[in-house]
Amino acid sequence: MERMTREEAVQYLTKQRDLADDCQTASDFKAILLETGEAVGYTPAFRCLVKGLEPEQSIRWKD
């Protein structure tokens, strides 16, 4: 699987955060959190979707 760039990960987190904001049930939110975690990593997903950090702050990029 090809690795995302930092900018792609920020864009993906932003999109997923918008979806999570519109969730009606906890199970919908969990599904988005799971999908996001698998794509960008569970720690950045948690920071963004649960703790409410901005996507740019959620990712601690290592080159």
pTM above 0.85, yes or no: yes
How far, in Å, CA of 48 to CA of 36, rounded?
Answer: 10
Residue 62 has pLDDT above 80, yes or no: no
- Residue 59: both structure tokens together: 């990712």
Token output for 51? 């703790």
Q: What is the pLDDT of residues 13-57, one digit of tens each?
A: 999 999 999 999 999 999 999 999 999 999 999 999 999 999 999
Q: Where are the domains of the chain?
A: 6-58
CA distance 16 to 22: 10
Q: Is 1's pLDDT higher than 80? A: no
Q: How many CB atoms lie within 10 A of CB 57?
A: 13
